[in-house]
Structure 1
Amino acid sequence: MTTHPEFLESQSYMLPSAEPVQLIAADGSEAPAKQHKQYKEPYQLPEMATMLEGYERLVVGRRVNDQAGALVRQGRMAVYPSSHGQEACQVAAVMCLRRSDWLFPTYRDTVAVLGRGVAPVEAFESLRGDWHSGFNPHDYNTANPTTPLATQLLHAVGVAHSAKLRGEDTVVLALCGDGASSEGDFHEALNFAAVFHVPVVFLIQNNQYAISVPLIRQSVAPSLAHKAVGYGMPGERVDGNDLAALLAVLGHAVDRARNGGGPALVEAHTYRMQAHTNADDSTRYRSDAEVAQWVPKDPLLRVEKYLHDAGALAAADRERIAVAAEAMAKTLRDGLNAETSVDPLDLFRYVYSEPTPQLREQSTLLAAELAASSATMGASR
């Protein structure tokens, strides 16, 4: 029986930290360094330039979340799953990847999609209800966000496996929520990734709720990161509202995967500050007092305080970043406010590369009905 090299050594490194790794405390101060399980080295704070870049991405992401919520209320989008309060997970995920790497986001990860260079309107087009996906994933090495839970994890493992077979140094980072860990696809993806030793990192954004179901009703494991051990891969826990810790932990996992170390599972402890979507009433399953406890842990305010205290955030930086955030919001607003010309026959054109006989028949029937309706309207004028 063939065993991967790391199994020949002590397997204790697979166990996550007793407490989530934290480098910057909620008040913006530097937290005590945490030692890494495998290499016995402490995680390092990122450089100030990196933190400033991350801060800018957080500001833009927060503004996008607010703008998207407004567009839903104005009827310009059908639905929006806000990531207000957990943007740091998405920002760190993007910052840890190369352009040649792949990202597999969830439906809540629009900030990450934008961070990969996708145009704002393309990133939000599916939420608006236009077209089928909004953008070509191969243009950005970013999969299209979809609503089924955990299905993207299997696709992520497949891409990672193909990259390994080709001898590429591509790393795949797959995002999911705590709810996805209760799905069968989650377990199949982790098992396949470990058995075939592929370069994929799984990031669970544990925001405490799978819609209305709290984590305690999904799992009684010590943590979701502990699930990694059962598949033979390392797991780690990280403060999901601490951008510095996320960059350090995810960065290490990505580097490890790129260097042949295989898959890893990271659990980020964060919180969904707003409702699951605009169609959800979160007051039915959680209290205002519970939400209020997470307000001081805001990832944006934490980084801002850290940079300010370090003298790394000048007034000019604030102004420049605010302008960039407003520009992004305006682009999104203008794009989604523009009326689109819809061709109903597109429903049939892009289902298969070669339409089935049934689709051809349905398309012909619809085309005839549209032509007849147009002729009737023309004659009545």
Structure 2
Amino acid sequence: MNGNKVLELKYSDEYGEYGSKEHFFHFFWGYVLPGMHVAITTTRREPGTYSLTLEDCGPVMNKVSQDLFSLITADIKFKKSDEFSADCAQVPRWDIMINFDSVLFEDEHSFRGSTKNYRENEFLKSVLNQPGFLQNFQNELREVRSWVLGRVIDSEAAASSLIIPSVGELKLSGPPATHGVKKAIIKFLERQGPWHVQLSQKVLQRSINVVRMVVGKTPIAISPKRQVAASQKTPVAASRKRRRNGGARGPNCLLLCRSPEPEYYSENGQAEAKKYGASRRSLVEIDESFEYFKSKGHNIEKYEPGSENIFGQIKRFYASDAVIGIKGAELSNVFWMKPGSKMFVVTPSTMRSTPVYQRFSRFLGISSITVFGADGQNPSLYRLRREIDDQL
């Protein structure tokens, strides 16, 4: 292959059988995101030109894989599961690993559905019991998010997408000869001053972070105790100011609509697990709810993620401060939202599965709010409008 290095990424079965790789949640969290982390760290550790072999996850998901992994290389091909070589990389199943609370300890979800089988999976338990697992898991999530946002949006998005340590981290590394310089930098970056000082601090901070990202280190942030210039205020803070001034109330919000079922997932289709999107479950009375939220001054729009490619979805979710959606695959895209954003998970009262989105959100710095609907698999959003409005 013209001297290319070959990296094969296989959807792992070591963590137990659960979830179809052809459905977006398990594909996204169980294959494409952890697969991106494996590919990013491998190419960073061993630079070169790579050829990627990805697992066939069906025509809908393969398009997402093709787009995201094209950020690494254009040389991509797909194989069936049984065609991979013995030395392929088994991609960690983040969609299963996120259940660590219920696997290692006992909670209300420990003995339901697939989770009770996870508790008997010795390989999974050995992974979850590794020293520093939670911190490493959190770091991996944020590294992938930062790396992708840096290429799809810009370097500022890459840095702002992380919950990053303070500038004081600079004290913790490097030879003693550099400590004097680092202390001077820290002192300057944490200094409070007029606009021209803040501008110089911002330029210096960005320069440091460019270098740190190139060498694979986490970006640093100016101490949160310092005063924040108006131009640097978060979207949530800005929305609060608009409320006080009588402007539109609330953050930029996406009201998520589910996509219709592609033929591939129909009863006569070739998918290994049937049904998709709206054919599985969906919110009803969306239009009425949309008009209600608008009447309350919220800057809201209806959005169907499946109508755009993955890059369009990344940009829309990153630009939003809140999302409202039924528990389902669309909420996976909160991965691209900024820390401090809100996610409203409308959950049918009949569903008692593990709250995976809520568990992921705590690693990403996103506020997760569960709202239970009492209408089976197709709850009325309009009945829940006041409960959501009070917290939006």
TM-score, L = length of structure 2: 0.25
Larger relative CO (CA 8 A, sep 6+): 1 or 2? 1
TM-score, L = length of structure 1: 0.26
